[in-house]
């Protein structure tokens, strides 16, 4: 288990470093890459709001399918995208949603006894759990699609054109820079630790080592963070992120916005008027 | 008369954790000079450079830039100052904060508000100057230490500053990269730039400076390279050893083997000339390891 966690941590960091931080997919000629960052951002937010507001599985599934289609048209490998997006689901959503079938009352579909205590699983609870996981998956996929296909600087430039508060942009910018170093530093620390291991390490020892490494990482990240900010300031950064992109709304942006808008309206109409066979569904 | 670029008066800086970085530092940097701030680790060299770049407000004292007092709380003043002053950070990982080298190199010109064409021209020129055009689209963490250092220098040179502040620019670099950067700094100096280099590496000082300011929390001495290197007490006070060549010839002078009036050699080439002069009274100039009859 410990080995698996260590290997996964290293792998996640490597993937994050080599794909997201490298902005590998931003230079590929795909649909999402060609869109104006403002359009992409607003469309993503609109779809996320729709997913969050809807309690129907079909809507969540529709948004998921749409996101995967957009990823495909944006020339992101299907395998890559599904693995990256699903990675967070078992980690967070499933764990959080796991108690739902046991605590939501409704039609009992299964029951069992643990130490004399009767545990019941309800159908409504299972549906709620499924909706929650799909909702998180849809929102995470949309966010990952936006991040994978947009240069961070362009996104911030777009946000500033949308009159997002300057403080928010500064915070987002600094967070991104720090995540970069945080990830890189943690990855290097794990590699350095591995290179000095000459035998198996006990779980307790590994936990102690991990805690100490984490402490050291925070101190180093803090110091580095300060230096990054000073380095940016010394080269003229004043809180406003400038890029080479001249933001212009093209025909493609208008068509995309209209299409997304129409899809969202369609979903809302379906949600309001369509009678689904199952009350939750 | 030489104009003063920087004038620091009684600068003291204490970090929030109570660490005393600098105490009563007073110094001057003149235009178009090559000066080295020499001192051991923890002497306050990096802090000094950051104060000179307006990044840190000193706890006490005043800094004058081109005769005007630096207003540490006036962003407009600082932005204008930083168009003329470029700081090359020692920590390349912190200085390369963008996702690609190109974005890092154009960051400065872009934030100076230059037109797009000029930003591209400057970025490309800086990459070409450092010979790193092929690294343009690479993310910083994929680069070697030498490549990172070149990228950091390129990202500062693209601003085209009149004054270059360099924090340990040659540390941890291979000989070829060191030579390349030394030659680059020399050509920048010939173009009329003022170059201030903070270093603890005494062997590189003769290559990058004409004057030395010895710092160990406070200025403990300054002068020409020969004056500083031959001052044994000063070197001891600064926890530094003079370069082996210099040390050898100072000893020879003490033993009366060399002419007392002759300038002590600071580099290998100067030492060869010196020895040749001692041996047969002939004078040959040795430049870059090649001899030429004079």
- Condensed to tens digits (0 to 9), the pLDDT of residues B24-76 reads 999 999 999 999 999 988 999 999 999 999 999 999 999 999 999 999 999 88
ipTM: 0.80
Integer Cα distance of B120 and B128 in angstroms: 12
Bridge partners of residue A113, in order along the sequence? A118
pLDDT at A254: 93
**pLDDT for B5 beyond 90:** yes
- Condensed to tens digits (0 to 9), the pLDDT of residues B230-241 reads 787 888 888 888
A242 touching B (Cβ < 8 Å): yes
Distances (CA, A) of B289 to A266, B161, B236: 79, 32, 31
B50 touching A (Cβ < 8 Å): yes
pLDDT at B164: 96
Instruction: Give A-chain residues touching B113 at CB under 8 angstroms.
Output: 242
Pairing between β-strand A117-122 and β-strand B4-14 as defined by DSSP bridges? unpaired
The answer to whether the CB atoms of B111 and A238 lie below 8 A apart is yes
pLDDT at A5: 58
Write down the mean pLDDT value for chain B: 87
Torsion of CA B200, B4, B25, A236, to 10 degrees: -70
The answer to whether the CB atoms of A177 and B97 lie below 8 A apart is yes
**E strand segments, A137-254:** none
> B94: nearest CA in chain A?
A228
Q: Which of A224, A227, A236 is nearest residue B112 as measured by Cβ atoms?
A: A236
- Output the tens digit of pLDDT for each of chain A's 281 residues: 555 556 566 666 666 666 566 677 888 888 989 999 999 999 999 999 999 988 888 888 999 999 999 999 999 988 888 887 877 676 778 888 888 888 888 888 888 888 888 888 888 889 889 989 999 999 999 998 998 899 887 888 888 888 888 778 878 877 777 777 777 777 777 777 777 777 777 777 777 777 777 787 778 777 777 888 899 999 988 877 777 777 788 899 999 999 999 999 988 887 776 555 444 44
Q: Which of A151, A184, A244 is nearest residue B110 as measured by Cβ atoms?
A: A244
Integer Cα distance of B167 and B265 in angstroms: 26
- The average pLDDT across B134-143 equals 85
- Name the more confident of B253 and A260: A260
| Percentage with pLDDT > 90 across chain B | 56
| Percentage with pLDDT > 70 across chain B | 93
**E strand segments, chain A:** 108-114, 117-122
The answer to whether the CB atoms of A227 and B53 lie below 8 A apart is no
Tell me which residues of chain A, numbers 39 to 78, contact chain B at a CB-CB cutoff of 8 Å: none
Give the residue extent of every domain in chain A: 2-78+139-164+242-272
pLDDT at A219: 80
pLDDT at A280: 44
The answer to whether the CB atoms of A235 and B159 lie below 8 A apart is yes
- Structure tokens belonging to residue B235: 């070197």
Helix (H, G, I), strand (E, B) or coil at B211: strand
A184 touching B (Cβ < 8 Å): yes
Q: How many residues does chain B have?
A: 294
pLDDT at A212: 78
> B123: nearest CA in chain A?
A244
Distances (CA, A) of B269 to A70, B265, B273, B284: 66, 8, 6, 10
Contact by Cβ (8 Å): A50, A59: yes
Bridge partners of residue A148, in order along the sequence? none
Contact by Cβ (8 Å): B195, B35: yes
Q: How many residues does chain A have?
A: 281
- For residue B214, what are the contacts with CB-CB under 8 A and spacing of at least 6? B38, B39, B220, B221, B222, B228, B234, B237, B238, B240
pLDDT at B289: 46
Q: Which of A23, A27, A228 is nearest residue B97 as measured by Cβ atoms?
A: A228
pLDDT at A27: 80
Among residues A190, A141, A225, the alpha carbon closest in space to that of A10 is found at A190
How far is CA B225 from its chain centroid?
14
Instruction: Give A-chain residues touching B75 at CB under 8 angstroms.
Output: 238
The answer to whether the CB atoms of A152 and B99 lie below 8 A apart is yes
Q: Which of A153, A230, A244 is nearest residue B50 as measured by Cβ atoms?
A: A230
The answer to whether the CB atoms of B82 and A235 lie below 8 A apart is yes
- Indicate if the alpha-carbon torsion angle A77, A83, A89, A92 is positive or negative: negative
To the nearest whole Å, the CA of A22 is away from the closest chain B CA by: 6
Instruction: Give B-chain residues touching A232 at CB under 8 angstroms.
Output: 97, 107
| A10-19, B144-153, B244-253: range with highest mean pLDDT | B144-153
- Structure tokens belonging to residue A112: 């069992």
A232 touching B (Cβ < 8 Å): yes
Bridge partners of residue B197, in order along the sequence? B36, B166
How far is CA A210 from its chain centroid?
25
Contact by Cβ (8 Å): B12, B61: yes
The answer to whether the CB atoms of B89 and A17 lie below 8 A apart is no
Integer Cα distance of A225 and B291 in angstroms: 50
Contact by Cβ (8 Å): B161, B91: no
Integer Cα distance of B152 and B177 in angstroms: 13
Bridge partners of residue B20, in order along the sequence? B14
B74 touching A (Cβ < 8 Å): no
**E strand segments, B45-104:** 60-65, 68-69, 85-88
Q: Which of A22, A224, A243 is nearest residue B94 as measured by Cβ atoms?
A: A224
pLDDT at B258: 65
Residue B118 CB neighbours (<10 A): 12
How far the first Cα of chain B sits from its last, in Å, is: 33
| A266-280, B97-111, B249-263: range with highest mean pLDDT | B97-111
Integer Cα distance of A60 and A46 in angstroms: 13
Q: Which of A17, A22, A235 is nearest residue B108 as measured by Cβ atoms?
A: A235
Integer Cα distance of B110 and B90 in angstroms: 23
pLDDT at A279: 45
Contact by Cβ (8 Å): B58, B11: yes
To the nearest whole Å, the CA of A243 is away from the closest chain B CA by: 7
């Amino acid at each position: 288990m410990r080995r698996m966690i260590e290997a996964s941590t290293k792998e996640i960091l490597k993937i994050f470093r080599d794909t997201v931080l490298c902005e590998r997919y931003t230079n590929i000629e795909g649909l999402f890459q060609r869109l104006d960052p403002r359009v992409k951002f607003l469309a993503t937010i609109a779809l996320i709001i729709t997913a969050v507001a809807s309690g129907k599985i079909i809507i969540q599934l529709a948004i998921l399918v749409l996101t995967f289609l957009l990823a495909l048209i944006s020339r992101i490998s299907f395998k890559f995208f599904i693995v990256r997006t699903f990675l967070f689901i078992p980690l967070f959503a499933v764990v959080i949603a796991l108690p739902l079938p046991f605590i939501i009352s409704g039609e009992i579909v299964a029951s069992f006894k643990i130490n004399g205590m009767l545990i019941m699983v309800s159908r409504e609870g299972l549906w709620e759990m499924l909706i929650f996981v799909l909702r998180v998956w849809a929102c995470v996929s949309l966010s990952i699609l936006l991040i994978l296909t947009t240069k961070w600087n362009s996104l911030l430039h777009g946000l500033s054109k949308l009159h997002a508060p300057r403080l928010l942009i500064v915070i987002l910018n600094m967070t991104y820079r720090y995540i970069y170093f945080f990830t890189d530093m943690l990855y290097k620390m794990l590699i350095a630790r591995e290179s000095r291991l000459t035998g198996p390490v006990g779980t307790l020892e590994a936990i102690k080592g991990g805690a100490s490494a984490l402490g050291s990482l925070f101190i180093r990240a803090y110091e580095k963070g300060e230096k990054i900010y000073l380095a940016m300031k010394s080269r003229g950064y004043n809180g406003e992120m400038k890029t080479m992109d001249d933001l212009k709304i093209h025909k493609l942006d208008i068509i995309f916005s209209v299409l997304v808008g129409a899809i969202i309206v369609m979903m809302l109409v379906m949600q309001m008027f369509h009678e689904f066979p199952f009350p939750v569904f | 008369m030489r104009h003063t670029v920087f004038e620091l008066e009684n600068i003291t800086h204490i970090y929030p954790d109570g660490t005393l970085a600098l105490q009563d530092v007073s110094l001057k940097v003149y235009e178009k000079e090559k000066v080295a701030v020499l001192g051991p680790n923890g002497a306050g060299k990096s802090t000094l450079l950051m104060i000179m770049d307006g990044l840190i407000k000193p706890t006490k004292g005043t800094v004058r830039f081109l005769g005007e007092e630096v207003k540490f709380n006036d962003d407009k003043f600082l932005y204008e100052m930083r168009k003329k002053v470029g700081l090359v950070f020692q920590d390349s990982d912190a200085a390369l904060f963008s996702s690609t080298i190109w974005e890092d190199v154009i960051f400065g010109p872009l934030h100076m508000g230059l037109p797009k064409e000029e930003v591209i021209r400057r970025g490309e020129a800086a990459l070409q100057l450092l010979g790193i055009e092929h690294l343009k689209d690479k993310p910083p963490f994929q680069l070697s230490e030498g490549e990172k250092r070149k990228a950091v220098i390129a990202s500062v040179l693209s601003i085209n500053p009149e004054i270059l502040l360099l924090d340990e620019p040659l540390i941890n670099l291979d000989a070829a990269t060191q030579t390349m950067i030394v030659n680059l700094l020399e050509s920048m100096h010939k173009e009329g730039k003022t170059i201030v280099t903070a270093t603890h590496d005494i062997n590189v000082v003769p290559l990058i400076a004409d004057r030395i300011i010895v710092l160990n929390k406070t200025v403990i001495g300054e002068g020409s390279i020969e004056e500083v290197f031959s001052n044994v007490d000063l070197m001891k006070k600064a926890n530094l050893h003079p370069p082996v060549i210099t040390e050898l010839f100072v000893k020879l002078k003490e033993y009366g083997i060399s002419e007392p009036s002759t300038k002590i050699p600071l580099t290998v080439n100067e030492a060869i000339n010196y020895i040749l002069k001692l041996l047969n009274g002939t004078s040959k100039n040795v430049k870059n390891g090649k001899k030429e009859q004079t």
